[in-house]
Each structure stands twice: as C-alpha cells, then as structure tokens.
Amino acid sequence: MAPTSTPQTPFGRVLTAMVTPFKADGALDLDGAQRLATHLVDAGNDGLIINGTTGESPTTSNAEKADLVRAVLEAVGDRAHVVAGVGTNDTHHSIELARAAERTGAHGLLVVTPYYNKPPQEGLYRHFTAIADATGLPVMLYDIPGRSGVPINTETLVRLAEHPRIVANKDAKGDLGRASWAIATSGLAWYSGDDMLNLPLLSVGAVGFVSVVGHVVTPELRALVEAYTSGDVQKATEIHQKLLPVYTGMFRTQGVMTTKAALTLQGLPAGPLRAPMVECAPDEIEQLKIDLAAGGVQL
C-alpha cells in the first residue's frame, strides 16, 4: 500500500475518482486504464477511486469491476491506494462487491449512500455497517444526497464512526455547517467530494480531496493542500482562485462527460461513454476548452 497512510489520512490526501476507459466498441479498455492510472499517480495522486460514479459503475458488470481493480493494482498498486467503489442500493449486492474487491486486492472501499429507495437513517446505519463487517478493508463513506436522495445525518455519521473499519467520509453534501459539526464530532477523516469546496472544506478540518478535476490538475491540487497544511493560506487561496474556471468548466454538464472529453483532448485514454451517458456536444467541448485554458490547463 502507498506509504502516505496515517490514521489522520488513511487514503492519503489527493485522490482522483478515475474514469473507466472503454474501447471504440464499448468494451472495457484495461490497457488504457493502466496507462491512465499510471499517468494520474505520476502526476501526484496518493490514490485512485475505481468503479465510482465517475467510473460509470452503474453500467459495468461485476466481472468488469473486478478486472478493472485488478488491472489498476497491477499498474500502480505499489505506489498508490486503490479504493474500489462497491456501493449500491442493495445491501446484499454491495457486500458481494466488497468481498470481490477484497479478494482482488483492493486497499479500501468507497461506499455510497443507497440511492433511489431512500432508506431511513437506521437503514443507512445497518447498510454501511453490514458492508464494513463483510471484509477487513477500511471504508470511506460517500455522502452525496443530491444523487442518492438522502443525506447521512451527522448523528448517523457519529454512530458509523464507532465501527473500527469505517475511517473516512467523502463529503459531497455541499453544506459547510453540517460538515463542520460532523468533522468535530465524528473523528472521521474527511475528504472533499465537491471540487469547488476543496479549500473551504480544508478550512473546517478536511484532510484531502476525492476529485474529478484531478484528471487534469492533480499537481495544482497537490500544491493547494500542501500550501494549506504548511500554513500558507494565501498561496492555497491563490491556487483555489486560479482553478475556479476548471472547477466550473468540468461541471457545466455531467462530470464524467467533460472528463472524458478533456482526457481525449490531451491524448489520454478515455474512449466513449456507455448509455445512458452521452458524449459532449461540439459546443460543450469548445466551452470546455475555454474554461480549461482559463485555468491554465494545457491541451
């Protein structure tokens, strides 16, 4: 496992939620995944999230998920944390995915809030603890109510933090007040899951990022977190402000669409998207070029 793991930063500080490259015919591109993973770790990532939403996990099979984790581990597993997304809205299925990820050799698990069926907080608690009980791997929760339909309430996060393997939370709730209280009371390692809030979340106790824009600006994200943790808040703020066009541009439409477009512009593995996702329209790509250039990204 990567040498940057501590109780305070169990998965390092800078992670990218990696897209899943596909071939022109829609098949999984494992060679491309290995090349992209190597590029991202060379750029400064401490870890990669595989089979997350940005990895189009709703449209990949269980076997493809295992193959992808295995391929990325072969490429960068000795240098970076390889964290497998295993969350679904079916606890039994999530447990199966978690056990498969452990057998494959994943270093940790990302478990998103169950989506669509909107369980109550007790249901969330039982879901997450059942998955954490199923393997020996450390777990990062993923709180994203805008997609899942329900938040993980602060009280539930505090309860979940009592589990010895639930060690972190990826916060895409977009609520700095709730984040402040949850960080203060849960003791979980807190990772920003909303790129625009990377710096603000550091200011209330986050330790790092699980980023989408890390596909194109990992060195800048690394510099931002290092500046902040060393006490140079002014430099961190300057980097944050420089990245604002990138944050905005990468989320003008769905993030995996713009990410694959940006990677293609840079000559990196990406490939098509699986339905129901679609490629960016020509005007969206032109706007993306403008946004990335404004943030200093070379295309």
pLDDT of residue 5: 75
24 is a domain residue: yes
CATH number at residue 95: 3.20.20.70
User: Was 54 annotated as part of a binding site?
Assistant: yes
**Residue tagged active-site, from 65, 125, 170, 228:** 170
Buried-state track 188-204, b at ≥16 Cβ within 10 A, e below 16: bbbbbbbbbbbbebbeb
73 is a domain residue: yes
**Residue tagged active-site, from 142, 191, 228, 247:** 142
257 is a domain residue: no
275 is a domain residue: no
160 is a domain residue: yes
Domain count within the chain: 1
Q: With 60 as the cut, is the pLDDT of residue 2 above it?
A: no
User: Was 210 annotated as part of a binding site?
Assistant: yes
286 is a domain residue: no
Give the burial class of 78: count Cβ atoms within 10 A of its Cβ; 0-12 exposed, 13-18 middle, 19 or more buried: exposed
Q: With 60 as the cut, is the pLDDT of residue 153 above it?
A: yes
Q: With 60 as the cut, is the pLDDT of residue 140 above it?
A: yes
6 is a domain residue: no
Structural domain boundaries, residue 135: 14-231
pLDDT of residue 299: 87
294 is a domain residue: no
For the chain, the 3-state helix, strand and coil shares in percent, each to the nearest 5, are 50, 15, 35
Q: Does residue 142 have an active-site annotation?
A: yes
